[in-house]
Amino acid sequence: VFVSAFSFGFGPVTWLVLSEIYPVEIRGRAFAFCNSFNWAANLFISLSFLDLIGTIGLSWTFLLYGLTAVLGLGFIYLFVPETKGQSLAEIDQQFQKRRFTLSFGHRQNSTGIPYSRIEISAAS
């Protein structure tokens, strides 16, 4: 039941969101990195599952996994915007607008478009 529900629910959402959230310039590399991280996390869970059951018991193991899922839902609700009915360009523009702008001593362009100042010399 879990596998069936996951394949109709959160399963495909991961691949859909990963293909939309990165700018076109780095989309391939970022998708590859996230895909590798996803498989590494799955490997870690698979390898630690039996050890967790032996250490804390079956019910606590599933409680831990359930709490992790609830935290994931909270993260999705707070930080992942709705993209239904939008083109890739609109989604890209939406992700350029950051909810929580992190600036470490430098000012970022509000439109997300890199620009540089052009010096024009007077030819006289």
Give the domain ranges of the chain. 1-80
CA–CA separation, 34 and 29 (whole Å): 9
pTM for the full predicted model: 0.54
For 46-90, the pLDDT digits (tens) are 999 999 999 999 999 999 999 998 998 898 888 877 777 877 778
CA–CA separation, 41 and 33 (whole Å): 12
Q: Residue 108 contacts by C-beta under 8 Å, 6 or more apart in sequence?
A: 101
- pLDDT score, position 110: 47
CA–CA separation, 84 and 91 (whole Å): 9
Share of the chain above pLDDT 90, in %: 23
Q: Which residue has the tokens 């859909």?
A: 16
Has residue 25 got a pLDDT over 90? no
Q: Which residue has the tokens 């359930």?
A: 66
What is the DSSP-derived secondary structure letter of residue 104? S
